[in-house]
Amino acid sequence: MNRRTLLQITAVAALTGASCGAFAQGDFPTRPITLVVPFSPGGTVDIVARTVSEKLGQQLGQPIIIDNRAGAATIIAADYVQKAAPDGYTLLIGTSTTFVVNPIIYPKIPYDSTKSFEPIGVIGSSGLALLANSNVKANTVQELISEIRAKPDSFAYGSHGNGSTVHFAAEMLWSAAKLHGVVHIPYKGSAPAITDLLGGQIPLAFDAIPAASSAAKGNRIKILAVTGEKRSPLLPSVPTIAESGYPGFKMTSWFGIVAPKNLPVAVRDRLEKALQAAIADPALVKRLQDVGFDPQWSASSKYSEMVKADTAILAPIAKASNITATN
């Protein structure tokens, strides 16, 4: 084989390889996609993931398989996804806990929120509710603050655990109200905290809006306010904390879908467009609102901005209140 013939063959092979690569990316996806959920089945994140994945799968023409990998405050799932092949077939639905809170409260975690992942998009947020046992006299946030001031060091509140979003929400409120001495009692999840609130073992708690709405049906628990920027469709008569005398107060857990870093641009764009179309579907929006989720699309380009903005808000709260993963 002479040199000219060899060069011709090499050029044809290179063009063929490039065409096949472009074709392969353009055809994405050709098989089912796995969406890793960092919580156990049945919770808000799991419900949102399953609801969104159904519509997303329709947009992509492939089924989305849910893989629940709970544990270590979402760190196990995040680490698993960052180590997966960057081909678009393994995705993670994470929350503010994954992307903002963990880097603040843990001295060391195995991933970097802004360097380990390729954001696909932010799909919305879930607010929290401030709950009080019926034995608490207050019916509003302002009345509660006055009641606590009248009896300093006699109030406690339950949360999902140290460093959880509900822990931050409470400490943000006490800081805004310039209150001191409200005791934090961390629980291993929502259910035991609600149980003790119902039983009168603790007077206050913060929890996700769906859980709060359900718990308040027996009239042994009052919902004083919600922490979102606006009122929840599930609790339209309950004011926000911002409406209750603390303008600008906002504490929500936003949900984002990410892939491992170095995802091909064509694959990322395909996923982002499909996810945006899914979130815009009116039927999906209604289903998400019915479980207390506020669907609001933000493009992948906004992800890093949201991480930085929330970190700037929560890091000082963590420092002032000594919030760590172990305290």
Burial 157-193 (b: 16+ CB within 10 A, else e): bbbbbebbbbbbbbbbbbebbebeebebeebeebeeb
Provide the pLDDT for residue 188: 84
Average pLDDT over residues 88-115: 96
pLDDT digits (tens, 9 = 90+) for 269-295: 999 999 999 999 999 999 999 888 999
Cα–Cα distance measured from residue 160 to residue 173, given in angstroms and rounded to the nearest whole number = 17
Other residues' Cβ atoms within 10 Å of the Cβ of residue 257: 24
Which of 15-24, 203-212, 312-321 has the weakest average pLDDT? 15-24
pLDDT at 43: 84
Q: Which residues contact 232 (CB under 8 A, 6 or more apart)?
A: 127, 129, 209, 226, 238, 292, 294
Whether 20 has a pLDDT exceeding 70, the answer reads no
pLDDT for 99: 97
Question: Residue 52: pLDDT above 60?
Answer: yes
pLDDT exceeding 70 applies to what percent of the chain?
A: 92
DSSP 305-318: HHHHHHHHHHHHHH
Express each pLDDT in 55-69 by its tens digit.
999 999 999 999 999
Residue whose structure tokens are 């802004």: 114
Q: What is the pLDDT of residues 232-263, one digit of tens each?
A: 988 999 999 999 999 999 999 999 999 999 99
Residue 319 has pLDDT above 50, yes or no: yes
Tokens of 296: 């609001």
Q: What's the mean pLDDT in 319-326?
A: 89
pLDDT at 256: 97
pLDDT class of 12 with cuts at 50, 70, 90: very low
- Which domains are present in the chain? 31-126+252-321 (3.40.190.150), 127-226 (3.40.190.10)
What number of other Cβ atoms are within 10 A of residue 104's Cβ? 19
- pLDDT at res. 26: 62
Residue 108: its pLDDT value, please? 94
Confidence of residue 327 (pLDDT cuts 50, 70, 90): low
Q: Which of 215, 223, 148 has its CA nearest to residue 180?
A: 148
The model's pTM is 0.86
For the stretch 205-236, pLDDT in tens is 999 888 888 888 878 899 999 999 999 988 99
10: left (phi over 0), alpha (psi -120 to 50) or beta: alpha
Q: How far is CA 25 from CA 35, 87, 262, in A?
A: 19, 9, 14
